């Protein structure tokens, strides 16, 4: 287990540095293409509820997906993190204005908003957009090391979509028995079905 964790840390640091060194204009162009690809996909079209993440500075800016979803009458929820037990709860928002700075300096919804309940919700048309530093072709991911999404997704029965630049979908990443895969990945070159 220690070896896997050490290997993951090395890969995470390598790809975080690679992402930071991307030309900002190129990063923005690729991000726009990823959003357009997602919005034009059947996954988006048939979704009633989309669970999002709020992007950090050098992450793919997926806010246009939330804007398109809200404009189309879909429900959109963002996570609120609990650093004590590394759990998350998603809360529905109607606007970015409802978000506030939260854990890790990431914008989060207040806990006063209506929550999405993954255990009782009809999950057929629920999509969770999953962040990562890097994915592999089987859909495994290396995130930021907090375990939030692995914990959350263990009880999630909707569609899991990874967002990544194509160069950040690699042949293989180390994974343990509690690591979960996404169902598909969306890159600037379109939908990438896991192999």
* 122-164 residue pLDDT tens: 767 999 999 999 999 999 999 988 889 989 998 898 999 999 9
- Residue 100, H or E segment: strand 100-101
* 29-41 residue pLDDT tens: 999 999 999 999 9
C-beta of residue 88 within 8 angstroms of C-beta of residue 156: no
C-beta of residue 169 within 8 angstroms of C-beta of residue 24: no
pLDDT of residue 116 exceeding 70: yes
């Amino acid at each position: 287990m220690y070896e896997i964790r050490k290997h993951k840390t090395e890969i995470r640091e390598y790809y975080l540095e690679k992402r930071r060194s991307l030309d900002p204009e190129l990063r923005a162009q690729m991000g726009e293409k990823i959003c357009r690809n997602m919005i034009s996909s059947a996954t988006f079209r048939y979704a009633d509820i989309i669970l999002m993440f709020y992007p950090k500075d050098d992450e793919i800016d997926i806010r246009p997906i939330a804007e398109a979803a809200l404009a189309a009458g879909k429900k959109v929820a963002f996570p609120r993190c609990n650093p004590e037990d590394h759990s998350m709860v998603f809360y529905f928002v109607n606007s970015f204005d409802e978000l506030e700075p939260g854990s890790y300096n990431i914008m989060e919804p207040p806990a006063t908003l209506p929550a999405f309940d993954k255990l009782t919700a009809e999950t057929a048309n629920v999509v969770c957009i999953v962040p990562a530093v890097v994915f592999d072709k089987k859909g495994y991911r290396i995130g930021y090391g907090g375990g939030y999404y692995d914990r959350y997704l263990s009880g999630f029965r909707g569609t899991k979509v990874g967002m990544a630049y194509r160069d950040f979908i690699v042949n293989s990443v180390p994974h343990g028995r509690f690591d979960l895969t996404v169902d598909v990945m969306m890159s600037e070159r379109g939908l990438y079905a896991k192999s």
